[in-house]
Structure 1
Amino acid sequence: MTERPLCATVSLRGVLFGPQDDVLVVKRATDGGWELPGGRLGAQEDAIDGVYREIKEETGLDVDVRRPVHAISWRNDDDDGRFGVYYHCLTPETEVSLSHEHTDFEWMSPRNAAKRLSDAQGKAVRRALEEHDQ
């Protein structure tokens, strides 16, 4: 049994493949770091609806949310619990309309996206690519 159970905020993100099989990454306004689009799950919100809503709010893109490809828990620098779930997503669109939360975006090869992102998000990209190639 775990000595200290994790009480966590749930974060949902999409590994979003565009029509050329590139992956979308977005640059955070707060610290300039790169991440996959997504955000926090609302109370009483279905997970699929939540990841769709977050991606739509942050990018303006209409997406097809597929299956979860990776899940991980951690504690942030403030010792707050986090639980992240990453979904394989598709879109036929490439025109991104960023929210105020991000300052830039880039469609890039899955390999380059995985290198640019954190270890957990890079792992999600690699797992989504395996599913995408099937």
Structure 2
Amino acid sequence: MTEEPLRATVSLRGVLFGPESEVLVVRRASDGGWELPGGRLGSGEPVVLGLRREIEEETSLDPDVEEPVHTFAWQNDEGRGRFAVYYYCTVDGKSVSLSAEHTDYDWVAVETATERLSDTQTEAVVCAWEIHGQ
């Protein structure tokens, strides 16, 4: 048994597949790194609605949220707990309008996404791809 339970902020991310099986990645304004769209779950907010809200706010897309494909827990540089849940999502269109949180976006092949993303987000993309037999 773990001595100290993780107290964490919950982060929800969408592994968002477009109509031709491309993955959406977005570039953070804060440091220029690439990530999957999503964000923090609000207190008392239903999970799927929270993820849809975050994706809509960041990209203007209205995703179909399917199922969780990966989870990961860690402590950030400030020692704060984080828990991320990655969901397989799809959209019919590819027209993106970014919020101020991001400076760029790209619809890319799975292989390209895995080159741009962190190890944890790469694992989420690979899991989503394998589970859904793309």
Mapped pair 1:52 → 2:52: yes
Tell me which stretches of 4 or more aligned residues in structure 1 moved more than 6 Å: none
The gaps in structure 2 that reach 5 residues or longer are: none
Deviations 1:49-108 (A, max 9, x none): 111110000000011000000001000011110000000000011110000000000000
Letter in 2 for 1:133: G
Aligned-CA RMSD value: 0.9
Q: Corresponding residue for 1:31?
A: 31
Letter in 2 for 1:74: W
Q: Corresponding residue for 2:131?
A: 131
DSSP-derived class of the 1:51 partner: helix
Report 1:1-134 matches (<5 A). 1-133=1-133
Letter in 2 for 1:59: T
Deviations 1:28-51 (A, max 9, x none): 000111100000000111111111
Equivalent-residue separation in structure 2 for 1:132 and 1:17 (angstroms): 11
Equivalent-residue separation in structure 1 for 2:3 and 2:109 (angstroms): 41
The gaps in structure 1 that reach 5 residues or longer are: none
DSSP-derived class of the 1:57 partner: helix
Equivalent-residue separation in structure 1 for 2:2 and 2:116 (angstroms): 33
User: If the length of structure 2 is used for normalisation, what is the TM-score?
Assistant: 0.97
Q: Percent of pairs identical after alignment?
A: 60
